[in-house]
Amino acid sequence: DGDAYKYYSDGEWRKSSSGKTVSIVNPTTRKTQYKVQACTQEEVNKVMELAKSAQKTWAKTPLWKRAELLHEAAAILKEHKAPIAECLIKEIAKPAKDSVTEVVRSGDLISYTAEEGVRILGEGKFLVSDSFPGNERTKYCLTSKIPLGVVLAIPPFNYPVNLAVSKIGPALIAGNSLVLKPPTQGAVSCLHMVHCFHLAGFPKGLISCVTGKGSEIGDFLTMHPGVNCISFTGGDTGISISKKAGMIPLQMELGGKDACIVLEDADLDLVAANIIKGGFSYSGQRCTAIKVVLVMESVADALVEKVKARVAKLRVGPPEDDCDITPVVTESSANFIEGLVMDAKEKGATFCQQYKREGNLIWPLLLDNVRPDMRIAWEEPFGPILPVIRINSVEEGIHHCNASNFGLQGCVFTKDINKAVLISDAMETGTVQINSAPARGPDHFPFQGLKDIQVNKKFLKMITNLLLNYFIFCFRPG
């Protein structure tokens, strides 16, 4: 198919020998927007082989040179923000302004990673033997950081560019090579982003981007003996990857059910504004979205009214018009969301708006009086549907938050900073925001979670750890 985007291997854009393509459906029009190559297992073998040999030379390339190339890629990416944002609009229906922000933020993250990498990688540890009982000062130990090798990066559809570069940047500065498998929705945005690295002049084979069907190359990639580390962001697929992958480091971020705990003394206008931003931006398709509001009964009526008034002002429509609420990514996602809504309806939740759906476009919906027997109390809709659970004590809120399988982020609203800190400490989540909606950014903040979202806790801090092994060598003085 002459119209299909080519994949990237050995520094060149190539057509797959499979002769097959994968279609990318525009969530708004529900028509095929783009096609990408359906790569074969042989083509995956080839990129792995190239990645292995390119990495050896790359690891010896001076650190300042690696950083220079990353800065160059960042600048090129930011120069090309308009066409890449256009792809995000068409592939994942991200609102126009947010699409541009994603690209710019990604360029900034690449530059930041390059700068941090130069500092962190320049550090080593020096240990002496007599600090351990029973030893004289007869041995010294020097540690330095070494790359892992070939890193397989698998970003999700909702931030295909940003969550790809948050894997690519740290991997490359640390001296690793990189094989990227983009999500189907978002693949073309990723290919454009990779082109920026191509234009920056990275060595051939160091970065590859293979597209295709998960059923054909998914397991083959994640179980490939040439892979030394997998960095994955997405859904339950991460759990199956972690079971199938070999003895390699895994970095996983698999979703969230971020709770928003609202106390009686909270500034309800501030809470309502943050619920709208946290719960409904990009139509709730963020791992860090507020996915359940736990509000004290005494202020629940007032809060629900304020949120309802703001929901009524949200603009619903196509991403090209920069609407607040845009179509969700696929029809199956819309069907899943609808299933949660119907379950809540059967079990007696209060609908603050009428449920409305046209194709993949779902109107924002606040569900009040949600109870723990409803699926929406626990499951992640990844859509513009927000449940409100009324609580009679702070402990009840903390209990609900901690009973979840997810522990990514959460937030607490109160004017009492002492209570805020105690509640934050009690919430079993990677991050708690006080009087603010959950969010990953700024992108240099540590982003980590607990429970189902984080399979391997050894790899908590992506940027600071920079996807490295520690290499320790010891010697005896004299």
Q: Which is nearer to ligand G3H, 29 or 237 (CB)?
A: 237
Planar angle of CA 29, 34, 35, nearest 5 degrees: 135
Q: Report, in Å, the least distance between residue 313 CB and ligand G3H.
A: 21
Name the catalytic one among 43, 91, 253, 379.
253
Q: Which is nearer to ligand G3H, 221 or 408 (CB)?
A: 408
Residue 94 interacts with ligand G3H (CB under 6 A)?
no
CA 36, CA 187: separation in Å to the nearest integer?
8
Closest of 268, 277, 351, 349 to residue 302, by C-alpha: 268
Q: Which is nearer to ligand G3H, 61 or 101 (CB)?
A: 101
Q: Using the rule CB under 6 A, which residue among 81, 198, 440, 451 binds ligand G3H?
A: 440
Residue with tokens 């990723």: 190
Beta-carbon contacts of 296 under 8 Å, excluding residues fewer than 6 positions away, are: 262, 263, 264, 390, 391, 392, 394
**The one segment of 27-35, 313-321, 439-447, 448-456 that binds ligand G3H by CB under 6 A:** 439-447
Residue 159 interacts with ligand G3H (CB under 6 A)?
yes
**The one segment of 123-131, 183-191, 355-363, 437-445 that binds ligand G3H by CB under 6 A:** 437-445
Q: Using the rule CB under 6 A, which residue among 287, 307, 366, 386 binds ligand G3H?
A: 287
CA 2, CA 458: separation in Å to the nearest integer?
45
Q: Which is nearer to ligand G3H, 16 or 285 (CB)?
A: 285
Instruction: Report 161-200 residues binding ligand G3H (CB under 6 A).
Output: 163
Torsions phi, psi for 407 (to 5 deg): -150, 55
**Residue 111 to residues 78, 120, 155, 293, 421: CA-CA distances in angstroms?**
11, 14, 19, 36, 33
Q: How many amino acids of this chain bind ligand G3H (CB under 6 A)?
A: 9
> 3-state DSSP call for residue 262?
strand
Closest of 179, 211, 183, 157 to residue 36, by C-alpha: 211
Q: Which is nearer to ligand G3H, 83 or 441 (CB)?
A: 441
Residue 286 interacts with ligand G3H (CB under 6 A)?
yes
CA 212, CA 184: separation in Å to the nearest integer?
8
Please state, as a whole number, how many other Cβ atoms lie within 10 Å of the Cβ of residue 19: 10
Q: Report, in Å, the least distance between residue 440 CB and ligand G3H.
A: 3
Q: Which is nearer to ligand G3H, 39 or 328 (CB)?
A: 328
Q: Using the rule CB under 6 A, which residue among 439, 453, 467, 468 binds ligand G3H?
A: 439
Active site residue 379: no
Q: Report, in Å, the least distance between residue 333 CB and ligand G3H.
A: 14
Q: Report, in Å, the least distance between residue 246 CB and ligand G3H.
A: 27
Residue with tokens 């449940």: 387
Residues serving a catalytic function are: 253
